[in-house]
Amino acid sequence: MLRSTVQAFLPSYRTPAGSLHLKELSGEDRGARQRDAVERPASASMWRAAMRRRRYLLERAENGTGKQKSTDWLYESYYCMSQQHPLIVFLLLIVMGACLALLAVFFASGLDIEDHIAFVITVPTALAIFLTIFVLVCMESVFKKLLRVFSLVIWACLVAMGYLFMFFGGIICPWDQVSFFLFIIFVVYTMLPFSMRDAIIASVLTSSSHTIVLSVCLSTTADNMEPLIWQILANVIIFICGNMAGAYHKHLMDLAVKQTYQDTCNCIKSPIKLEFENGNRYVTV
């Protein structure tokens, strides 16, 4: 009884409920801090690893390596699908429309098929080839794999049609089919997916073959060589000017496409760099 009375008058010996609650809270706080201390290094290390990977990709995209080509595969894919694919589709539509128009004019004129058997064979054959290429070009995977083959086939068909018009169109003149071969030169530089080197080779072959074949054919029948020489020289000048204009246009287009590609890459890399810098600040804190 005395003991209970003394304890009643001595409150300092009692343990308040609030203090017990504070002790529990402090214990939970220490446990949470310990868990945070254990989990924070793991998350920070994962973040640093991710940032290192991004830094490696950014530096690789900006600086490149010694073995990397001047034009990487990403640029080639971008250039192929954004520029070359629409141009070759448009070119195929043009030449197929021209072939259909030629056939329609031929049959509407009532010409004898036996007298123009080469025309009847060549133009429908070229139309079938162009239509087949048009169907295959619509398949992206096939277009990327056979891009060079498609370009060569289209160029060869156009050259064959030019020689067909030259030799089966009546009397051969010194200026015969110069405009059509000049059209082929501009097509090679502007619409066919050739590189600069391949475009120059194809255009030089086109112009030189026309000049050589026409010179040989006319030299055997010409009575006076001087007018023929001047006309052939005029054709050569026209072809040289066409090649220079086409090469200049292609060079400017390649520069414009490369600049557009670089601007696109910079727009894509800017948010990555910003996130990378923010991640570094987070890790530092």
pLDDT tens, residue order, the chain (285 aa)? 434 443 443 444 344 444 434 344 445 455 545 554 444 454 445 545 555 555 554 555 455 444 444 446 676 776 777 778 888 889 999 999 999 998 998 888 888 888 788 888 888 999 999 999 999 988 878 888 888 899 999 999 999 988 888 887 667 777 888 889 999 999 999 988 888 899 999 999 999 999 998 888 888 777 777 788 888 899 999 999 999 999 999 999 888 878 877 777 777 766 666 666 666 555 555
Report yes or no: 200 and 221 within 8 Å, Cβ to Cβ: no
pLDDT for 9 equals 39
- Residue 165: give the domain boundaries: 74-263
**Residue 229 identity:** I
Q: Which of 44, 63, 82 marks a domain boundary?
A: 63
Assigned domain for 6 exists: no
Assigned domain for 13 exists: no
Residues 134 and 59 in one domain: no
Residues 121 and 248 in one domain: yes
In angstroms, the CA 203 to CA 192 distance is 11
Residues 136 and 46 in one domain: no
Residues 78 and 58 in one domain: no
Count of domains in the chain?
Answer: 2
Residues 38 and 157 in one domain: no
Residues 153 and 115 in one domain: yes
Query: With the CA atoms of 133, 138, 143 and 148 taken in that order, what torsion angle do they form, in degrees rounded to the nearest 10?
Result: 30
Residues 159 and 216 in one domain: yes
pLDDT for 182 equals 92
Assigned domain for 12 exists: no
Q: Degrees (nearest 5) of the Cα angle 257, 87, 236?
A: 90
Q: pTM score > 0.85 for this model?
A: no
Residues 112 and 36 in one domain: no
Residues 122 and 59 in one domain: no
pLDDT for 169 equals 66
Residues 82 and 223 in one domain: yes
Residues 228 and 175 in one domain: yes
Assigned domain for 281 exists: no
Please name the residue ranges forming H helices in the chain.
2-9, 17-63, 73-79, 85-109, 117-137, 140-145, 147-167, 178-190, 196-219, 225-284
Assigned domain for 277 exists: no
Residues 205 and 235 in one domain: yes
Assigned domain for 84 exists: yes
Assigned domain for 282 exists: no
Q: Residue 259's Cα: distance from chain center in Å?
A: 13
Assigned domain for 250 exists: yes
